Structure 1
Amino acid sequence: MDIVLQPAAVADAVEWLEPTDADLDAIEAEMPAILADAAGLDLEAEVLTAAAEWLDALIGAVRPVRAAGERPVRRAHRRTLAARRDLTNHTTTTTTAVSALGSAA
């Protein structure tokens, strides 16, 4: 059995695959939280790498390397939580304002 695609159906599917302006606005609004998450993950990877190097040094494989420690990880985690809090507060404020506009009409 052959699959035959109609040109109009293909065109509709292509348009559907593109992000809408609302999608792009939502991504832009969430960008601080996304960047904070990425920074936290980068820092955790750095700490894990340093810990592995430290363990290698402990068994005598290489020269000792100072571990990054937990404080920077906690700071990155706090920045992530703050970005998520700000995003949630902004979303809640926007939703409340839209709801108020809808009930006033």
Structure 2
Amino acid sequence: MSIIHLSAVASQEPSAADLAGIELEWPLIAAELDLLDAQIAFINAGPYASPLETRRVRRAQRRVLEIGRELGDRDPETEGAA
């Protein structure tokens, strides 16, 4: 028995505004995926993690923060007018 009713979900298509929002946030999504990849590699390395793997995680974390800051600094009024 499923708790998710697919008929309710299947009839709802994303609007143009939803798709535009995803497109706007895609750089952040990609950066978060890169961070996740770096973290998984670091965890899998266990005690044998190299300084390069540590640096890769830190670099990915900084990139997520940079992109998040850029998205936060955008003015929604001007984004909608563009």
Instruction: Give the Cα separation in 1 of the matches to 2:53 and 2:24.
Output: 31
Instruction: Give the Cα separation in 1 of the matches to 2:13 and 2:53.
Output: 43
- With structure 1 as the length reference, what TM-score do the two structures score? 0.58
Could you say what the CA RMSD is over the residues aligned between the two structures, in angstroms?
2.4
Computing the radius of gyration from Cα coordinates, the structure with the larger value is: 1
Matched, 1:25 2:20: yes
Matched, 1:89 2:73: yes
How many residue pairs get aligned? The number is: 71
Structure 1 unpaired stretches of 5+: 1-9, 55-65, 99-105
- With structure 2 as the length reference, what TM-score do the two structures score? 0.73
Structure 2 unpaired stretches of 5+: 1-6
Instruction: Give the Cα separation in 1 of the matches to 2:31 and 2:53.
Output: 19
Q: Percent identity over the alignment?
A: 36
